[in-house]
Amino acid sequence: MYRDPNGPVVGAMPFVIFANRYRGRHGVIAHQHVGTELLLVTHGRGHVTVGGSRFAFAVGDVLVLPKRVEHAQEDDGEVETLYVEFEVGRRIFNDQARVLRADHEGHVAAWFEQLVALESRPVPLPLRGGLCLALLELLTYTERRDDAHRELPPGVASALRLIESDLLAPLSVEQLCRAAGLSASHLTALFRQHVGCGPMAWQQRQRLELACRLLRNHQLAIAEVASASGFSDANFFTRQFRKRHGCTPSDWRRKQRGAAG
């Protein structure tokens, strides 16, 4: 739902109030907004004071600034940000003041840029709201994933981040061990304890889940799905897929097509 002429109505889809770009070095005086604000730092560093809390920010940070809470920005030299103000129900996004890291999520910056670009274009409200919803979902997913990583031993978290940075990269156990700062035996033992399998097996499981998503595209041949999932040998891919899902990729695709009616 969207805001009607008589006042705000907030439903499952965000209502984007505005999006814009900031460049400066003198900061922003204390002010507040009627909606929640997301602010992506693209250059520089500084601090934001929100209510009684003070948060440092740097490139790649996304600041969450709650609605109707006064905040002020202090710039340490030249600062550039992209920001979007929106209204949405709390069940969609937690608007508690905090700093999220998004430097490793390329879509975050791209979607901020697109929201700013759409500000001056006569596009339908659902287009802006849908893009904002995608941004909120990605930030929520990233925050939950990072929270889960913090519950793990640092070495396991470092290895997971390396795998997740490029699921198709041909990583070796040695590379993961260097990232984790652990021996192969220690890393494998910790992975099995906290993740349920070894690091290479975990990477393969994620690739097979990716394959399931790709198999829904019936225009892709099985060999193309294998390659796009990080498997250079289609026969090996089929064997591993059968071990994981109990059927071949072709059978899995047929079952999904039948379930869809």
- Find the CATH number of the domain harbouring 88: 2.60.120.280
Please state, in angstroms and rounded to a whole number, the distance separating the CA atoms of residues 107 and 138: 8
Tokens read off for 114: 């697109």
* Average pLDDT estimate for 35-61: 95
Same domain, 172 and 231: yes
Average pLDDT of the residues of the chain: 90
Residue given tokens 């396991």 in the structure block: 156
Is 102's pLDDT higher than 90? no
- Among the three residues 109, 134, 149, which one is the final residue of a domain in this structure? 149
Cα dihedral 87, 141, 253, 130, rounded to 10, equals 20
pLDDT for res 261: 57
Is position 1 within any domain? no
Cα dihedral 240, 246, 250, 252, rounded to 10, equals -120
pLDDT for res 45: 96
Same domain, 225 and 186: yes
- The tally of domains found in the chain comes to 2
User: Could you tell me if 241 and 211 are in contact, meaning their C-beta atoms sit under 8 angstroms apart?
Assistant: yes
Same domain, 143 and 21: yes
Please state, in angstroms and rounded to a whole number, the distance separating the CA atoms of residues 126 and 194: 41
User: Could you tell me if 140 and 90 are in contact, meaning their C-beta atoms sit under 8 angstroms apart?
Assistant: no
pLDDT digits (tens, 9 = 90+) for 158-211: 999 999 888 999 999 999 999 999 999 999 999 999 999 999 999 999 999 999
Same domain, 134 and 168: no
- Among the three residues 88, 123, 149, which one is the final residue of a domain in this structure? 149
Domain residues for 185? 154-259
pLDDT for res 256: 86
Same domain, 253 and 223: yes
User: Could you tell me if 168 and 230 are in contact, meaning their C-beta atoms sit under 8 angstroms apart?
Assistant: yes
Range in 20-24, 87-91, 124-128, 151-155 with the lowest mean pLDDT: 87-91
Is position 178 within any domain? yes
pLDDT digits (tens, 9 = 90+) for 56-95: 999 999 999 999 999 999 999 999 999 999 998 767 889 9
Please state, in angstroms and rounded to a whole number, the distance separating the CA atoms of residues 163 and 198: 12
54 vs 90, residue with greater confidence: 54
* Average pLDDT estimate for 11-16: 81
24 vs 2, residue with greater confidence: 24
**Separation in Å, CA 134 to CA 107, 130, 215:** 10, 6, 23
Please state, in angstroms and rounded to a whole number, the distance separating the CA atoms of residues 187 and 198: 8
Residue given tokens 């008589």 in the structure block: 6
Same domain, 38 and 121: yes
pLDDT for res 260: 62
Q: State the pTM of this model.
A: 0.81
Range in 62-76, 99-113, 142-156 with the lowest mean pLDDT: 99-113
pLDDT for res 105: 62
* Average pLDDT estimate for 40-57: 95
pLDDT for res 1: 31
User: Could you tell me if 56 and 37 are in contact, meaning their C-beta atoms sit under 8 angstroms apart?
Assistant: no
